[in-house]
């Protein structure tokens, strides 16, 4: 495997180490509470499943579909953007259906990246944001994740000092993994910057509907001039708990979307037609299920904050996303996020995502997903407390712990 050029460009998958340890513990009978992978445990809405069942087996639905998505689904996505963001999209030229936002990012990278092209990616970030471009032969330059003035200082520095000049910048808000949210003013500044320097912006809004404050997260396409430079990726995975259905979208700049559609036309025939029909029903249907999803994650977030604080681990309160991004406790921090995550599985029966898997600047953190019910989250907190209370005795022959000042 190590002889293959593209595989050589990929480091070992950090999360696989945690997954193997988790599987080993479960095989030995441990009840592991998995807060690691952002894999929604909520059911897909009933009206969506009903539409899938109704469509399966109809004449022609078993045939090849269209790689850019059926017309009804593209119209549904355009309608959603109009209602949610006040953004008008042409379903024919400004919407492409993808097999989840992850596939969309990877194939956009294939479409626009020449060997050696530089792309600016936040660190830490969701892995495909960087490795999609690495697999396409590009070069990654890290920028900060925080949507603050320092972000633009770093972008300006990267433009000046990168040879060749960067072709694109990636942003993701609400952020995976950090749960940070960007304002519309930030997007306006970003669009102005991108137009000035003639670079593209690739925005990931997979968590736009998972928010807990009164103000919904914006879309970059709300910013004036955004269609000149930006494509935005979204997904039904979290909004409608349809992760396994692999339904996503790329919308925005027509030139970029035409390139994506052309690449996809060589690689796939689109998702199974009944799934696309059901996805259109999700976007066109009642929004009660979205509000219920949001309320469920908010309850879980509040229980996690309360119960983990009682266990001795203060977790920063996220205002959006289905994740909490929190520092490794001080006395374990010198171990790094991966070793700490392994200890949580072994000693607390809790799995989390090590921050190093999202980039080297994430190594002081772990990501916890709100994918277990409140009872299981409280059980996880009890396991963490038991581990913390006994760590000095149980780990003294294994690792050296930093003692409180």
What are 180-234's pLDDT values in tens digits? 999 999 999 999 999 999 999 999 999 999 999 989 999 999 999 999 999 999 9
Q: How does residue 393 score in pLDDT terms, banded at 50, 70 and 90?
A: confident
pLDDT band, residue 396 (cuts 50/70/90): very low
Confidence of residue 397 (pLDDT cuts 50, 70, 90): very low
Q: For residue 395, name the pLDDT band (cuts at 50, 70, 90).
A: low
Residues 81, 234: contact at Cβ < 8 Å?
no
Give the tens place of pLDDT for each residue, 102-121.
999 999 999 999 999 999 99
Is the pLDDT at 401 greater than 80, yes or no?
no
Give the largest CA-CA distance in the chain.
Answer: 71
Mean pLDDT of 244-252: 96
Enter the tokens of residue 252: 């925005």
Q: Return the CA Rg of the chain.
A: 22
Taking the CA atoms of 189, 358, 238 and 257 in sequence, report the sign of the dihedral they define: positive
pLDDT of residue 405: 52
pLDDT of residue 302: 98
Euclidean distance between CA atoms 109 and 97, whole angstroms: 16
Q: Measure the CA–CA gap between 262 and 256, rounded to whole angstroms.
A: 10
Nearest to 252 by CA among 171, 180, 177: 171
High-pLDDT (> 70) share of the chain, %: 96
Residue 172 in contact with residue 204, Cβ under 8 Å?
A: yes
402, pLDDT greater than 70: no
Q: How many CA atoms lie within 13 A of 148 on its CB side?
A: 5
Closest by CA to 319, choosing from 400, 212, 404, is 212
> Is pLDDT of 365 > 90?
yes
- pLDDT tens, residue by residue, 6-29: 877 777 677 888 889 899 999 999
Contact of 187 with 133, CB cutoff 8 Å: no
pTM for the full model?
0.92
- State yes or no: pLDDT of 279 exceeds 80: yes
Of residues 317, 294, 314, 121, the one with CA closest to residue 216: 294
Q: For 320-355, how does the pLDDT look when each residue is reduced to its tens digit (9 = 90+)?
A: 999 999 999 999 999 999 999 999 999 999 999 999
Question: In this predicted structure, what is the pLDDT of residue 32?
Answer: 95
Sheet holding 353-354, edge to edge: 323-327, 365-369, 353-354
Going by C-alpha positions, the residue among 229, 105, 260, 104 that lies closest to residue 166 is 229
CA distance 240 to 218: 19
CB 132 within 8 A of CB 105: yes
pLDDT of residue 403 exceeding 70: no
């Amino acid at each position: 495997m190590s002889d293959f050029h593209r595989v050589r460009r990929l480091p070992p998958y950090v999360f696989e180490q945690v997954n193997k340890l988790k599987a080993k513990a479960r095989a030995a009978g441990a009840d592991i509470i998995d807060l690691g992978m952002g894999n929604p445990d909520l059911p897909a809405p009933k009206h969506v499943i009903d539409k899938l069942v109704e469509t399966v087996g109809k004449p022609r639905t078993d045939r090849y579909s269209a790689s850019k998505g059926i017309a009804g689904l593209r119209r549904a996505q355009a309608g959603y953007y109009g209602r949610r963001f006040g953004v008008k999209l042409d379903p024919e030229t400004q919407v492409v259906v993808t097999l989840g936002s992850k596939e969309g990012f990877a194939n956009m990278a294939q479409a626009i990246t020449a060997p050696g092209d530089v792309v600016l990616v936040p660190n830490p970030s969701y892995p495909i944001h960087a490795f999609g471009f690495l697999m396409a032969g590009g070069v990654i330059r890290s920028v900060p994740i925080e949507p603050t003035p320092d972000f633009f200082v770093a972008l300006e520095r990267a433009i000046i000092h990168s040879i060749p000049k960067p072709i694109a910048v990636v942003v993701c808000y609400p952020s995976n993994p950090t749960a940070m949210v960007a304002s519309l003013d930030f997007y306006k500044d970003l669009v102005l910057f991108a137009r000035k320097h003639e670079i593209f912006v690739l925005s990931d809004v997979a968590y736009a509907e998972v928010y807990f404050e009164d103000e919904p997260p914006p879309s970059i396409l709300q910013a004036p001039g955004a269609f000149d430079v930006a494509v935005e990726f979204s997904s039904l995975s979290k909004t409608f708990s349809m992760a396994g259905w692999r339904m996503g979208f790329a919308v925005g700049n027509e030139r970029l979307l035409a390139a994506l559609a052309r690449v996809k036309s060589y690689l796939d025939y689109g998702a199974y037609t009944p799934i696309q029909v059901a996805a259109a029903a999700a976007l066109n249907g009642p929004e009660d299920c979205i509000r219920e999803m949001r309320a469920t994650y908010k309850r879980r977030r509040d229980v996690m904050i309360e119960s983990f604080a009682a266990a001795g681990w203060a977790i920063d309160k996220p205002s959006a996303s289905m994740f909490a991004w929190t520092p490794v406790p001080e006395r374990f921090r010198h171990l790094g996020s991966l070793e700490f995550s392994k200890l949580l599985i072994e000693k607390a029966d809790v799995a989390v995502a090590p921050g190093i898997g999202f980039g080297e600047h994430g190594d002081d953190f772990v990501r916890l997903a709100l994918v277990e019910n409140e009872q299981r989250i409280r059980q996880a907190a009890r396991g963490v407390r038991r581990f913390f209370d006994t760590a000095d005795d149980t780990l003294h022959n294994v690792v050296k712990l930093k003692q409180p000042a």
